[in-house]
């Protein structure tokens, strides 16, 4: 087995402030995947990571929390899967005593830090935190380093069902915010939340009843010319 670096990259735990942690090496058989992790698509795509870990070892340890006699993954499931494929018996881990809710936030932040999630997956996680954990858009924004407006935008994208997103991916289209918003509008027959909503067009109502027929015709001709000049409809 390639030599593994000693517990690098603890910035995720540091960012979440002060939860007690311990560093150790534990058996892979004692580690459990997290069924509630934010990542939905591509969880098993670890070929690139296998090659990297084969050459360099596990540069960053897996973050876990105690669950009974086992340890549940908080961050690093792809590293765990790659280690299994490589036939490793144990891996270095950092154990955190953070709460279950805090661990979910850490998993989300870690995936986003690595850009492992597409916008729909991030939105789905944001929606969970806002609805189930009663967090505000501002609080979620602080976790991910997003603006409150962008948090709301991603949350709206999460209204799409998983099947629709999977079908989009099968076409080869990128799961970008733009493409997902377009899909959402198509599915719902209306627009979702966007970063910079357009203002409703301003309308001016003019009562022409007081004008004579001649003046009214003259006014309408001039108005028509102005509309053409400024591209108004």
Question: Of 101, 70, 82, nearest to 43 (Cα)?
Answer: 82
Contact 39, 120 (CB under 8 A): no
Q: In whole angstroms, what is the distance from residue 161 CA to residue 64 CA?
A: 30
User: Does the annotation count 138 as an active-site position?
Assistant: no
Torsion of CA 226, 227, 228, 233, to 10 degrees: 180
Please classify residue 119 by burial: count the beta carbons closer than 10 Å to its beta carbon, then call 0-12 exposed, 13-18 middle and 19+ buried.
buried
Question: Of 109, 113, 190, nearest to 156 (Cα)?
Answer: 190
Going by their DSSP bridges, the two strands 70-75 and 31-32 should be labelled as parallel
Q: In whole angstroms, what is the distance from residue 33 CA to residue 21 CA?
A: 19
Kindly name the residue from 20, 25, 51, 77 that is annotated as catalytic. Answer: 77
Locate 56 and state its tokens.
């360099």
Sequence-distant (≥ 6) Cβ neighbours of residue 39 within 8 angstroms: 77, 111, 116, 117, 121
Please give the positions annotated as active site: 77
């Amino acid at each position: 087995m390639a030599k593994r670096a000693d517990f690098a990259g603890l910035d995720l735990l540091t960012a979440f402030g002060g939860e007690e942690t311990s560093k150790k090496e534990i058996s892979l058989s004692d580690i459990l995947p997290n069924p509630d992790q934010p990542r939905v698509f591509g969880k098993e795509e670890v070929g690139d990571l296998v090659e990297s870990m084969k050459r360099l070892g596990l540069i960053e340890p897996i973050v876990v929390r105690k669950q009974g006699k086992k340890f549940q993954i908080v961050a690093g499931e792809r590293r765990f899967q790659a280690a299994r494929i490589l036939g490793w018996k144990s891996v270095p881990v950092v154990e955190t005593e953070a709460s279950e809710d805090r661990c979910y936030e850490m998993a989300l932040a870690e995936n986003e830090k690595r850009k492992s999630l597409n916008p729909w997956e991030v939105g789905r996680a944001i929606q969970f935190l806002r609805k189930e954990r009663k967090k505000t858009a501002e609080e979620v924004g602080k976790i991910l380093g997003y603006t409150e407006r962008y948090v709301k935008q991603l949350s709206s994208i999460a209204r799409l069902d998983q099947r629709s997103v999977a079908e989009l991916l099968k076409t080869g289209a990128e799961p970008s915010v733009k493409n997902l918003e377009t899909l959402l509008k198509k599915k719902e027959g209306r627009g979702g939340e966007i970063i910079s909503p357009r203002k409703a067009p301003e309308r001016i109502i003019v009562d022409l009843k007081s004008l004579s027929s001649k003046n009214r015709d003259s006014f309408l001709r001039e108005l028509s010319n102005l509309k053409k000049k400024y591209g108004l409809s």
